[in-house]
Structure 1
Amino acid sequence: MELVFESSLGSPTLTPHGASVRTLRDALTTIPLAAAPEECVDQLEELERLKSAICATQARISGQLDQHRLAQDEARRQLEPRRRRPKPEAGIAKEIGLARRESPHDGRRKLALARALLHDLPETLAALERGDLNERRAEIIASETSCLDAEKRREVDVVVCRDLDGLGDGHLRDLVQREVLRRDEEGWLARHERARAKRRVTGRILGDGMGQLSATLPATDLSLIMASLDAAAETARAQGDERDRSQLVADTLVGRLSGRGRNTPAPTAIKLLVSAETLMGEGDEPGYVFSAGHVPASVARSMVIAAAGHAHSTIQRLFTAPHNGALVAMESSTSFFRGALAEFIKLRDRRCRSPFCSAPIRHVDHVNGRADDGVTSSDNGQGLCEACNYAKEAHGWRHEPHPDPLAVTEVSVTTPTGHVHRSRAPDPPTDQSHPSPAERHVSARLLALAS
């Protein structure tokens, strides 16, 4: 027998289990607000973790509902084997969507997430229950690993969830994509070819005399285009142009595409980070293209070969520490991060280094400021977005590099309330398990010089 509960003006008659959750919800509205700033931050953090734990419980409940509906559908099929019935997934997804006050499309996403968490991603589910990641980031892991079989998916799940602290959406997506590529390069290439066949440019009117241009194209082409537009914007700003960066990028794009631009764009490089083993064909570690993400080893080698004929193409060797694979560099005697040192830090950090932020790097600055006797070195430098760099200078904030020069590049961020967050640089694309004797020797020497 199935019970039907009628709803009146959005106030359903609840089952005992639903009523227990409502009691919890009502209790949350009576929590006393903290008085001191540090207590406010504690409450915010614990409530955020609670939201994640609730999402994990919703996934478990969705899985339970999924099993009930599938079993009911199978029972009906056994009773009436000749009767054609629609697949039950659509109804289940809509039921979940309605319960969560979301569309059927979002209901399908939540159902897919629940199935992934319960069957293939136990570590992600556990992290969600602890509040170490939120539902959106759990969806990133589930979505990016959906192309793998169950065994490989669980492998990625274990690796990715070892240390989630400080990872923003972009850093997390980069990490998952790298681990997927390590296990399924052929699948990536096949999916890329199918997606590449759908490249296109579209436009639509927005109103107020404005329109939107949208291009779907290979990520490496996007990286090159954006690097060229960003370089033009930075040059114009340096020459005193009062337009902001977004306006300059848009105006430069229009000028170049319409033919109204007067200046020929300067040659622009695609920045590709790749291990020496991959470059020489002795390894299959994925490469990393800035503003595009990870690419298979074969694609990275093809990019290097294609660029070899260009006069301005260069290959610059970056060495890694033999004990942990972290990129290392030497100290600079200047007071500002510029030239090769600034470029090195951008290559190492890839995105804004502030915990949980994945915005593009706009500034390279000291971790420990010059006013506090901070040196201009790779260990004491970090790439930040504009907003995070300005926030860093606000009263009560403190950024500190890891005290151990042999540790993985790490920054501790202390907030005005004394709460500490940490940020680690992404692992470089290198095979740490088989460093050559020369690699170990040179890396050790560079570390000694840097310290």
Structure 2
Amino acid sequence: ARALRAGGETRTLDQLRADVALDLLLGGQGGKSERSEVFLYMDLQTYLGLNDDPAEMAGHGHIPASLAREIAGGSNTVLRRIITDPLSGQVLDLGRDRYRPTAGLDEFVRVRDRECRRPGCHRVAQACDLDHSLPWQFGGHTADTELIDLCRRDHRLKDEPGWNYRLGSDGTLTITTPTGRSYDSSPPPLHEPRDEEPPPF
């Protein structure tokens, strides 16, 4: 629209934008830069044609399995593996196709860690970098089980040769230095431990 305006066009910029958008929608003459993005949720068995369960298109609702397979089979389609909890259906892992975490995952890790995970550093997590404890290039995943908060200085230190970071299933981070010494860091609890039995009313 700005390029058209520069050529002595009498329409306003907003009018040009509306006309260009309408032209793209009706004629599809936008060239190679034209790209649409839809999010389609369907299970592997539906994708493989083993069942005909409907899929869900974000912002639209359910669509027939045959249409979902046709969309998923497009030449420029990007498929992403998403692992969910079989009981709750909650997302557990976004696979390796996504380097940056979602906003919800980012917030979860920052709330969990509360501060930089290097022992002795108390920089608030909201001012830290979110980093893969197992580097992405070595097979790290974008999941809460592998993401940690590190201040910028400690993030750079982690990438130096000889440093090893391992995040346990309980959230304990073990840092091994180039000299072989190990240090543990656990996220601080959000409240004091509570009795197993609730107090009487």
Task: Name the TM-score class by shorter chain.
Answer: 0.3 to 0.5
Query: TM-score, length-normalised on structure 2?
Result: 0.47
- Higher alpha-carbon Rg: 1
Query: TM-score, length-normalised on structure 1?
Result: 0.22
Bigger helix share = 1
Bigger strand share = 2
